[in-house]
Structure 1
Amino acid sequence: MPSPSALRRFDIPGPRYTSYPTADRFVDAFAADTYAQVLEQRGGAGAGARALSLYVHIPFCESLCYYCACNKIVTRHKGKGREYLDYLAREVSLQVEKLGRGAMVRQLHLGGGTPTFVDDDGLRELMALLRDNFTLTEDGEHSIEIDPRTVDRQRLATLAELGFNRLSFGVQDFDPEVQRAVHRIQPAGQVFDLMLDARSLGFDSVNVDLIYGLPQQSAASFDRTLEQVCALRPDRIALYAYAHLPERFKPQRRIATESLPDAAAKVEMLSRSIAAFTAAGYVYIGMDHFALPDDALAVAKRQGRLHRNFQGYSTQPDCDLVALGVSAIGRVGATYSQNAKTLEEYYDLLDQGRLPVVRGLALSRDDVLRRAVIMAIMCQGRVDFEAIGAAHLIDFRHFFAAELAALDLLAAEGFVRMSQRDIEVTPLGWFFVRAIAMVFDRYLQADRKTRFSRIV
């Protein structure tokens, strides 16, 4: 268990490493034409040869949550969802034209915004569209993010009927005062009822998202939320630190800075959360994720099969990610791509019959090498020098001499164990795994001006 002093000392800004290089390194020179060539190359190699992950971004929300930093559009006009699905169909057609019809998909995730903003008929249409163009494997993970205020048992039953087997409930905090401060009122009883419904309907896994560091929160008030979450007993818990960046995210300007807990209170909340979840039998997966021992995520970590993509930790093989929708980020081969961030530009490009990709990155040899090291740290917690060296034709200790020297400080803290053969993240080091990975980030070492959320 990390001490409060260690949490304070290593409370530094750093990437979450859902990719390397991180999205702030994407360039406009990588656009639709480049991405089309990448898709054609993959399709030419055999569309069904390697499995895909598929991400669909639904940007709409019925109400504004003040803490939110997602790409979203706040509206109660359901017709906007109908129009958006029409444009998604156009994008799918353009992607499949290059990729080839029938590519196998092992992982599907609907994120937002609020995917359940779309009504049942719309979700049926969307899933039919995806099944017509891709092959969704029966044993795959099909997940959807849910605002508990937008669903009931019947809606959950419809999601199960459509093939979704994993749910993610956005909770953030059960405290009524905190909920009022962030403009997201949802009684705890509503979430508990939905959890019972999800269990009875046979969903494989239910995730709960929490945020600490919100306005009006205190360590004592968050303790009550932790107690309720442990009683709720979700299969997975994501515990995020709130990053207050009102200069970048307009909704956060409605939050008074003086209402936020100070750094010491945030450290205490994190420390108590870790203690509460581990005492309740949850396995610490890494960064801000916990899972019950028999959940697929915990099993994947024990077996060394954990992976990471733009949706976070994953049990699926490290496969290409095709992203659909406004602002969605994908990864195909040694490239990253991102769609237009505004609905107007996204629609305009599709009206022109063009893929809506506006930026991205083709990875260099050094990028691919460092990505392998960083993902080994973030997912397996171990870097095998010989394996990395053989795969990338380098002498690991020579190539990364400066980085290994920099790790001495973290080794002295007990975060890593180093030998002539490998680096291994210790149980304590998992709580600071982002700081360990940052040592190998060439871009971060060269430019410290980039703004990231804090590790704690």
Structure 2
Amino acid sequence: MDSNQLADKYRVAAPRYTSYPTVPYWDENNFDETQWRERLIASYRDSPEGLSVYVHLPFCESLCTYCGCNTRITKNHGVERPYIATVLKEWKLYVDLLGSRPVIKEIHLGGGTPTFFSPDNLELLIDGITQQAELHKDAEFSFEAHPNNTTEEHLKTLYNLGFKRLSLGIQDFDPVVQLVINRVQSVEAVENVTHMAREIGYSSVNYDLIYGLPLQSLNGLTTTLNAVIRLNPDRIAFYSYAHVPWVKPGQRRYTEAHLPSPDLKKQLYETGRGLLVAAGYAEIGMDHFTLTTDSLYQAEMKGTLHRNFMGYTEQQSDVMIGLGVSSISDCWTAFAQNVKTVEEYMRIVDAGRLPVFKGHILNNTDLVIRKHILNIMCRGGTSWFFPEERDENFILGIQRMKSLADDALVVLTPYDLKVTPLGKRFLRNICMALDARLWAHKPATQLFSMAD
């Protein structure tokens, strides 16, 4: 079976596996805040490496119609200080819960648009977090930025606070695509921010690109990739567009008829991948490409690459605390998600309570499968030992892998699995074979974007 036939065969709705179980399969009926607190305290006590902190800053001045994130559209910058004050109150609740000054190994600011906030307010936020904590000697800070509103003052302020990585959302430079997705920025704006960041001393600049966007063309994406390669970012996230209008109504600005056909979408991916590899970028995990000088590449070579709700990282930590509206926290044995509206989030925190409204407590089967899915996503394979891991659902998942082995996507032995170079494009499908909760309760309607 050639690569086109395989792409057609495995073009199914599939999770991205930033977690296992995936959010639609969380068992919310068996979750409560007391269990979350207990699991978090126990996990942090057993995590000498410290914890990661994700802060969701939801505000944007305009809606990017492709976006699947939790956002609040406003031009009123008076929302900044009250929101930051609430985030710091939430952080204090977690500090008090953990019972000591937590050790922070990683901070990431996501959104929304973190650079919606003024440099002074971002400094207020980061100082408020770090003053109640200890920083790990290898701590790394990163943030997401919009090329159109990221100023030199933003970059200098955050750099002085310890940030050495930034990620610029580009998606596509084609003006036709930019117009329909309402995300307009020029090559010159991106080049200017990239140049300023490097002059200041940032060690890694990431660009986010998407293939499969409405009205996207092969020529347009090729022009975008050539411009990106000229600017030479350290990392590139090259994502498949997730069309989920039943979740994000903004995507109803266009219809499926405006999206590239499955054949064109395959060409877009293969062309983009080919250009990046030819330019010297190494393929990392799923959807990521890095220069060989970047620490993410070095982490994969050392077998220390990690993946969480923030994406791929070289920071190993079993505990991630998500602050802000809709943020998800993870302590390896449990997940908890914050409420999804700004008003409810602020009301609950102001009342002195953690703003979690749902979550999942992992059982033994979940923990076994989670470990192996993470290994596949980060290390390109996994191994197991019986009878220690003789879990019925895991064994069924390994049996489902046999068809993928027949298609040369994996090499399967009685005690391990390795993803082949051909199979690297199909990581979502490979992980899905192990997904016991999905197989036990196949959805009646589409929950996930297509794996293509």
TM over 0.5: yes
Q: Name the SS for the 2:389 alignment partner.
A: coil
Give the AA of the match of 1:424.
K
1:152-172 Cα shifts (integer Å, max 9, x gaps): 223212221121110000000
Give the AA of the match of 1:24.
P
Aligned to 2:16: 16
Taking the aligned partners of 2:397 and 2:332, their CA distance within structure 1 comes to 26
Q: CA RMSD in A?
A: 1.8
1:296-325 Cα shifts (integer Å, max 9, x gaps): 111111111111100111111142111111
1:48-102 Cα shifts (integer Å, max 9, x gaps): 8341011111010011111111100000111111110111121111111101332
Q: Is the 8 A contact 2:397 2:433 kept in 1?
A: yes
Note if 1:217 corresponds to 2:211.
no
Q: Is the 8 A contact 1:416 1:429 kept in 2?
A: yes
Aligned to 1:425: 419
Aligned to 1:33: 34
The range that moved more, 402-411 or 365-374, is 402-411
Q: Name the SS for the 1:394 alignment partner.
A: coil
Query: Per the alignment, do residues 268 and 104 of structure 1 end up closer, same or farther by CA in structure 2, a change over 3 Å counting?
Result: same
TM-score w.r.t. structure 1 length? Answer: 0.94
Q: Is the 8 A contact 1:4 1:268 kept in 2?
A: no
Aligned to 2:430: 436
Taking the aligned partners of 1:143 and 1:68, their CA distance within structure 2 comes to 20
Alignment of 1:311-390 (within 5 A): 311-386=310-385, 389=386
Deviation at 1:130, TM superposition (A): 0.9
Taking the aligned partners of 2:94 and 2:136, their CA distance within structure 1 comes to 19
Give the AA of the match of 1:433.
L
Q: Is the 8 A contact 2:143 2:163 kept in 1?
A: yes
Structure 2 unmatched runs, 5+: none
Aligned to 1:184: 183
Deviation at 1:173, TM superposition (A): 0.4
Aligned to 2:108: 109
Taking the aligned partners of 1:165 and 1:78, their CA distance within structure 2 comes to 26
Give the AA of the match of 2:369.
R
Query: Per the alignment, do residues 377 and 333 of structure 1 end up closer, same or farther by CA in structure 2, a change over 3 Å counting?
Result: closer
Taking the aligned partners of 1:429 and 1:64, their CA distance within structure 2 comes to 35
**Percent of residue pairs bearing the same amino acid type:** 40
Q: Name the SS for the 2:411 alignment partner.
A: strand
Taking the aligned partners of 1:246 and 1:84, their CA distance within structure 2 comes to 28
Deviation at 1:371, TM superposition (A): 0.6
**Aligned match for 1:408, one of 402, 408, 416:** 402
Q: Is the 8 A contact 2:212 2:240 kept in 1?
A: yes
Taking the aligned partners of 2:419 and 2:317, their CA distance within structure 1 comes to 21
Taking the aligned partners of 1:100 and 1:133, their CA distance within structure 2 comes to 11
Q: Is the 8 A contact 1:53 1:320 kept in 2?
A: yes
Q: Name the SS for the 1:305 alignment partner.
A: coil
Give the AA of the match of 1:213.
G
Note if 1:125 corresponds to 2:119.
no
Taking the aligned partners of 1:323 and 1:4, their CA distance within structure 2 comes to 40
Note if 1:446 corresponds to 2:435.
no
Alignment of 1:223-234 (within 5 A): 223-234=222-233
TM-score w.r.t. structure 2 length? Answer: 0.95
1:97-154 Cα shifts (integer Å, max 9, x gaps): 1013321111111101011111111111111111111222342220000011111223
Query: Per the alignment, do residues 94 and 384 of structure 1 end up closer, same or farther by CA in structure 2, a change over 3 Å counting?
Result: same
Deviation at 1:176, TM superposition (A): 1.2
1:347-367 Cα shifts (integer Å, max 9, x gaps): 121122111011111110111
Q: Is the 8 A contact 1:211 1:239 kept in 2?
A: yes
Aligned to 2:57: 58
Taking the aligned partners of 1:10 and 1:223, their CA distance within structure 2 comes to 25
Taking the aligned partners of 1:385 and 1:278, their CA distance within structure 2 comes to 32
Give the AA of the match of 1:182.
I
Q: Is the 8 A contact 1:239 1:289 kept in 2?
A: yes
Give the AA of the match of 2:315.
Q
Q: Is the 8 A contact 2:103 2:135 kept in 1?
A: yes
Deviation at 1:29, TM superposition (A): 5.0
Q: Name the SS for the 1:238 alignment partner.
A: strand
Deviation at 1:183, TM superposition (A): 1.1
Taking the aligned partners of 2:81 and 2:238, their CA distance within structure 1 comes to 33
Taking the aligned partners of 2:300 and 2:450, their CA distance within structure 1 comes to 24
Taking the aligned partners of 2:345 and 2:368, their CA distance within structure 1 comes to 33
Deviation at 1:9, TM superposition (A): 2.4
Give the AA of the match of 1:231.
R
Deviation at 1:394, TM superposition (A): 2.9
Deviation at 1:419, TM superposition (A): 1.9
Taking the aligned partners of 1:455 and 1:215, their CA distance within structure 2 comes to 17
Q: Name the SS for the 1:133 alignment partner.
A: coil
Deviation at 1:42, TM superposition (A): 4.8
Note if 1:394 corresponds to 2:389.
yes
Taking the aligned partners of 1:38 and 1:421, their CA distance within structure 2 comes to 31
Q: Name the SS for the 1:150 alignment partner.
A: coil
Taking the aligned partners of 1:263 and 1:272, their CA distance within structure 2 comes to 14
Q: Is the 8 A contact 2:337 2:358 kept in 1?
A: yes
Aligned to 1:167: 166
Q: Is the 8 A contact 1:31 1:357 kept in 2?
A: no
Q: Is the 8 A contact 1:38 1:332 kept in 2?
A: yes
Query: Per the alignment, do residues 384 and 349 of structure 1 end up closer, same or farther by CA in structure 2, a change over 3 Å counting?
Result: same
Structure 1 unmatched runs, 5+: none
